[in-house]
A = this chain, B = another copy of it.
């Protein structure tokens, strides 16, 4: 028996989220478990670093699995990958210590929420970006994001599994047994990148509550529409009441971009995101997002 660390990518459009379900719905976890079980001839249990919701994508996420196999390295990666459906891919695989845990060892994550902000729809963007035809004030959204950065109780932005109670602060999070307080998380940065009609909200943090990124960006969109000020966002945060914050935006705009296990790598991403947000070279108002704009 050996433990393997898996780096995965998936398009969530046609899946019912990460987590295996007791019905016929297609989920990412079930697809990976089936591929590996088909290969090794025994049922397996895959532990994921993040349980993304239905319709959410992942560019680089992680998982681990214990399996009995003589295959190693690239041979094993390919043997699993060819058994996966086309919307999931096994990017990399490496053997790790038997006590390595992909969720407990994760230092942080980067999510991207993409918004196609134009009067016209964009068939080439809509799989990975939410279409917002109303004008957004990017400076106002950047201001409104400031109170959210740092260590806070993010209950006001978490999707509850039931409607009541609205305040979960005292409940421990089963996903993070190492964390002392249920809904306290640290957001390292929220950077808003503007390229033509594409707005990308990059949200970095040590961990995220269910629905948190979509609730945070939904609240920033309200600020961009002039409905909320920076002071309002501060009040929402302090309220710890989900009913105060903006709407949860649709899943198609959300991509888990990376799970970090290396602090230096996370620092590099943070620095580059901050630099990219300042770079307005390619922001051409009124233009169709072109590959030249997107590729810098």
Please give, as numbers and ranges, the residues of chain B lying within 8 Å of A77 by CB-CB distance: 120
Contact A86 B295 (CB under 8 A): no
| Chain A 274-296 interface mask (CB, 8 Å, partner B; 1/0) | 00100101100000111110111
Question: Whose C-beta in chain B lies nearest to the C-beta of A59?
Answer: B124
Asked if A175 is at the interface of the complex by the 8 Å CB criterion, the answer is no
Please give, as numbers and ranges, the residues of chain B lying within 8 Å of A127 by CB-CB distance: 127
Query: Residues of A at under 8 Å CB distance from B?
Result: 7, 9-11, 57, 59-60, 74, 77, 81, 86-92, 112, 119-124, 126-128, 193, 195, 200, 202, 255, 257-258, 269, 272-273, 276, 279, 281-282, 288-292, 294-296
Please give, as numbers and ranges, the residues of chain B lying within 8 Å of A193 by CB-CB distance: 291, 295
Contact A290 B258 (CB under 8 A): yes
Find A292's partner among B255, B273, B291 (CB 8 Å cutoff): B273
What is the count of identical protomers in the complex? 2
Min distance, Cβ A178 to any Cβ of chain B, angstroms: 27
A282 to B294, CA, bound (A): 12
Contact B257 A81 (CB under 8 A): no
Contact A294 B295 (CB under 8 A): yes
27 A-B contacts (beta carbon < 8 Å): A9-B122, A10-B123, A11-B124, A59-B124, A59-B288, A74-B119, A81-B120, A81-B121, A86-B121, A86-B123, A89-B120, A89-B121, A90-B120, A91-B120, A91-B288, A124-B128, A127-B127, A200-B291, A200-B295, A202-B292, A255-B291, A257-B290, A258-B290, A272-B292, A279-B296, A295-B296, A296-B296
